[in-house]
Amino acid sequence: MSAVKKIAVLTSGGDSQGMNAAVRAVVRSALFRGLEVHGIQRGYQGLLNEELRPMDIRSVGDIIQRGGTILQTARCKEFTSPEGQQRGAEVLRKHGIDGLVVIGGDGSYQGANKLSKLGIKTMGLPGTIDNDIPFTDYTIGFDTAVSVAVDAINKLRDTMTSHERSSVVEVMGRHCGDIALYSGLASGAEAILVPEVPFDVKQIALHMKENFKNGKRHGIVVVAEGVCSGEEIARTIAEHSGIEPRVTVLGHIQRGGSPTHNDRILASRLADYAVHKLQEGDSGKAIGIHRGEFTATDIDVVVSTKKPFNTELYNLAMRLSQ
C-alpha cells in the first residue's frame, strides 16, 4: 500500500483525559516524519462541515496536561448513514487528506471503519474512560477516571467512618464495569456491582448489617451505572438491613481534570505508533497495547468483539472485601 503525505486527526464521542496528549503526539509525530497535519474540529460533525485547520508544533503546545480535547467533540447522527460516510470521505479527498487518526470509543471506531472501506487510510486510538475497547489492556482516560473515583471514595470513607454510615457510589460504565471494579478494589469497597456479574443486593445488605453489628464503622458499595441507579441499590439495602446508605453519583466529574502520567504516556505511545503505521501505508487498524506490546487489530474485528471481563481481578476484590 502507498504511504500517506497529509493526515488529519479528530476526537469523537465522549471526551476522555489524555485525548489532548494523543492529539499532540499525532501532530508532532507526523511533523517529525515530514507529513502535513490537519485538525478536524467537533468530530465527524466537523468533518461534514469541513471544519479543518492546519496544525503545527505550536498549535499543540501546552496541552499534554489538559483534560478534554482542544479539537472538541460531538455526536453526529448524519455520519451513521452511508450518505454521510460518503460525504466525509469526499471532504477528506477534497482537502488532499489521505490518512486519518480517529480518537474515541466504539462509535468512533465504527465511523473510522466505514471511511477505511471507502478508501481513506484510517487508524483508531482508544479514547474512552470506560476501558471497553478490546485488544488493548487499557484505553486513554481510564487510569485518570479510576484515580478520580478512588479519590472520591477515599473522601467519602472518611466522613462515613466519622458518622458510622454506609455509602453507595455510582460510577460510569454502562456496558463495562471496569471503572467500578478497579476503583472498588483500590479503595477497599465492601461490594462492587458490575454489569458482567450477577449479584444479590439482599445478601449484600445482610452482609453490611452483620459487619456493623460486629463493630465495623462504615460500608462502601461501588456500582456501575449500567447495573442500575445508586438510589435503587440504596433503597434495597435499606429495606433488607435497616441501614440507609448515602448515595453519591460521580457522573461527568470522572471525565474531567488533568490526565495521570499513565494516560499521557499511553496516549503518546499509541498516537506515535498510529502515525508510524499510516506512514507505512497501513489502514483500518485499531491501535492498542497488550502486555507492553503494541497491537494493530483490524477495526472490523474490534467493533465486532466484546472485551472480556477480568474475572480474576473481580474474584480478588471479593476475597478481600470480607
Q: Would you say 129 is a known binding-site residue?
A: yes
Give the separation between CA 18 and CA 23, rounded to whole angstroms: 9
Instruction: Show the cell assigned to 266.
Output: 499511553
Radius of gyration of the chain (CA): 22
Q: Is 256 annotated as a binding residue?
A: no
How far is Cα 243 from Cα 90, in angstroms, rounded to an integer? 60
Q: Are 205 and 241 in contact (CB under 8 A)?
A: yes
Q: Give the whole-angstrom CA distance, residue 82 versus residue 47.
A: 15
Residue 38 counted as an annotated binding residue: no
228 assigned ligand-binding residue: no
Give the β-pairing of 166-171 and 246-249: parallel
Is position 26 annotated in a ligand binding site? yes
| Residue 76 annotated as part of some ligand binding site | yes
14 is in an annotated binding site: yes
Answer for the pair 36, 5: CB distance below 8 angstroms, yes or no.
yes
291 is an annotated ligand-binding site residue: no
216 assigned binding-site residue: yes
Catalytic-labelled residue, pool 15, 56, 62, 130: 130
User: Would the annotation count 157 as a binding residue?
Assistant: yes
Q: State whether the Cα torsion 313-207-247-193 is positive or negative.
A: positive
Handedness of CA 156, 159, 163, 164 (dihedral sign): positive
The reply to whether 53 sits in an annotated binding site is no
The reply, when asked if residue 254 is annotated as ligand binding, is yes
The verdict on whether 158 is a catalytic residue reads no
Contact at 8 Å (CB) between 66 and 258? yes
The amino acid sitting at 186 is: A
AA identity, residue 107 = G
128: annotated binding-site residue? Answer: yes
One-character DSSP codes across 159-198: HHHHHT-EEEEEE--SS--HHHHHHHHHTT-SEEE-TTS-
74 is in an annotated binding site: no
Residue 31: which of 9, 11, 55 has the closest Cα? 55
Residue 319 in marked binding region: no
> Any idea which residues carry the catalytic annotation?
130
Query: Which residues are annotated binding-site positions for ATP?
Result: 14, 75-76, 105-108
Query: Which residues are annotated binding-site positions for Mg(2+)?
Result: 106
Query: Which residues are annotated binding-site positions for ADP?
Result: 24-28, 157, 188-190, 216-218
Query: Which residues are annotated binding-site positions?
Result: 14, 24-28, 75-76, 105-108, 128-130, 157, 165, 172-174, 188-190, 216-218, 225, 246, 252-255
Query: Which residues are annotated binding-site positions for substrate?
Result: 128-130, 165, 172-174, 225, 246, 252-255
